[in-house]
Amino acid sequence: MTDYSKLFDLSGRRALVIGGASGIGRASCFGLASFGAHVVCADLNLAMAEEAARAIEAEGRSAEALRVDLRDGQSVEAAARRVGVPDALVVTPSINVRKPLLDLTDEEFDRVIDLNLKGAFRALRAFAPGMAERGKGSIVAFSSIRAQVVEPGQGVYAATKAGALQMIRALAAELGPKGVRVNVVAPGVVETPLTQQIKQNEAWWRAYGEKPMLKRWADPSEMVGAVVFLCSDASSYVTGSYLLVDGGWTAADGRFDPPLPKREA
């Protein structure tokens, strides 16, 4: 008989979180550790990754830090040799250049593609084969609502997010028979270093906060439930999914609430 109380238990498992020094990645490190996983906080910023690992250990959990640069294939391969085959891999890093599409330079275009799309590919290529050989594992990559809906200034960023989604779905199909699950989490508006530009413009920030059905921005901690779910046995039959955690952003139609009759008392 299944013990449902242990569906989210990650005791004895290792989780590698790339982008674990800040924002959603850092919150994911704490969340996975809270459910018993040994967490490897990997990031380009080693000092911040080490601080996150120390903070987790201060709570009585198990963690370590690792430097990795998703833009450098050799760095990713070195991380794979050091970590080995994790039970769960979470990939969060992204950058954005907010400009009209036709104003982007080749360098800007390549920079966004290299991290958001090719960086995710490098991580998958380094860690997924070991999971497939072992016959078990969970991979969680972060996309965005921008894989589905766009706005001016988001052309190349949205292209990387849509591309990552389709790449992940293809990998899910390829690795499903080998026992490896591969899923995508798609946040809406989350208060992270990536969205600081928006926060500096009060009207922009307020408009984004009004768009979701929940009428507010998300905190990085609100992405953790999706990550823990997808890394745990609670999602043992979930793969190839695009899990929206957007406060209802993509389900709402338009930016105007039509006048409706008042409900009678």
Which is nearest to 142 in space by CA: 70, 82, 205? 70
4 annotated active-site: no
CB-neighbour burial class of residue 182 (10 A; exposed 0-12, middle 13-18, buried 19+): buried
Q: Name, in order, each residue with C-beta under 8 angstroms of 195's C-beta and a sequence gap of 6 or more.
A: 189
Residue carrying the six token digits 């960023």: 157
Residues 4, 157, 237, 242: which is the catalytic one?
A: 157
Which is nearest to 235 in space by CA: 8, 1, 3? 8
> What residues form DSSP beta bridges with 140?
90, 183
Work out the number of other CB atoms within 10 angstroms of the CB of residue 46.
Answer: 15
3-class DSSP assignment, residue 181 = strand
Q: Name, in order, each residue with C-beta under 8 angstroms of 179's C-beta and a sequence gap of 6 or more.
A: 132, 135, 136, 137
Which is nearest to 80 in space by CA: 8, 133, 158, 12? 133
User: Which residues are part of the catalytic machinery?
Assistant: 157
